Structure 1
Amino acid sequence: MLAVSGVTAVASEDPVATRKALMQSNGAAAGLSGGMMKGEIPYNAAAAKAALASFNAAATAFGDYFPEGSDMDANTTASPKIWEDMEGFEAELDKFQTAAAAAMQAAGKDGPADLDAFKAAAGSVLGTCKDCHEGYRVKN
């Protein structure tokens, strides 16, 4: 239990670094998912389940790392709109959490049965990522 508390303390001390780490995890899961969905990477149920699990873990934790003032960090691509419209941002996070949880449920114990089942599960999650990025991320 102490180790978990220590991780939480570090994360709360640097919410921007934590957000970035969670987004990197999402990026890796999205890359794997997209590769399988496009046929660039052979479909693998265990890898598909791992990608969905990564999305679900990030969705569960992500909202905790947007405290007031963390928008002032020069190293963030989080849009100031998050803090201006926290209710709207939280609605997007709810969509992400709902889609990720549903994808995990659909994946079952061993992962999606085939590529089409994975596309259905992952597609809705990736759609929520796109929607949130369009409204709440600074474009580079």
Structure 2
Amino acid sequence: MRKQVLTLVLAGAAGLAATSVIAAGGPIEHRKAIMQSVGASAGLAGGMMKGEIAYSPAAGKAVIASMNAAAHSFGAFFPEGSDAGDTTAAPAIWSDAAGFEAALAKFAEATGAAMAASGKDGPADLDAFKAVAGPIMGNCKSCHEAFRVKK
């Protein structure tokens, strides 16, 4: 229980940090802040799915809501010229803009479906969470493979 509470606190702190960065920075900083929030949510999701963190419907709903918000905002922070600097955004984002938009649409579709399926209180149990979180995590992986440069 303590690990679950700590993880939720850390995820919340990451979200607050992301909000501060977004208020202060340009597109690269915005992208990083959003991805930090997604990373915190993915960490919580993975921990619950592996049984390292006790599952709770509220935590499941928080993961899904965070990912859904990212899916609907992330694409706005890739204007022309934001490919240079401290970024892991792959050149394919700009050279294959249609493919990147399609990947973002798939992510939004998966998170939207998860939001709809999870109801007001979140997925009722771990199996229900896994069913809706799996497609979300798969979208994260495929997008990172195609549109992110590994450091």
Determine if the TM-score, normalized by the shorter chain, exceeds 0.5. yes
Residue segments in structure 2 that go unaligned for 5+ positions in a row? 1-18
2:52 is matched by which residue type in structure 1? E
Deviations 1:76-122 (A, max 9, x none): 00001110100001100000000011111111000001000000111
Identical pairs, percent: 63
The reply on whether 1:30 has 2:42 as its aligned counterpart is: yes
Counterpart in the other structure of 2:68 = 56
Q: 1:20 aligns with which of 15, 28, 32?
A: 32
Partner Cα separation in structure 1 for residue 125 and residue 25 of structure 2: 42
Aligned counterpart for 1:71 among listed residues 83, 92, 96: 83
How many equivalent residue pairs?
131
From the superposition, tell whether residues 34 and 16 of structure 1 become closer, same or farther in structure 2 (CA, over 3 Å). same
Paired amino acid for 2:62: A
The answer as to whether partners of 1:63 and 1:90 remain within 8 angstroms in 2 is yes
Say which structure, 1 or 2, has more relative contact order (CA 8 Å, 6+ apart).
Answer: 1
Q: Is the 8 A contact 1:16 1:76 kept in 2?
A: yes
1:94-113 matches, within 5 Å, as: 94-113=105-124
Contact 1:15–1:67 (Cα < 8 Å) also in 2: yes
- Structure 1 runs not aligned, ≥5 long: 1-6
CA RMSD of aligned residues (A): 1.5
- Measured after TM superposition, the shift of residue 12 of structure 1 is 9.8
State the match for 1:134 in structure 2: 145
What is the rounded CA distance, in whole Å, between the counterparts of 1:95 and 1:115 in structure 2? 23
For normalisation by structure 2, the TM-score amounts to 0.83
Counterpart of 2:61, as a letter, is K
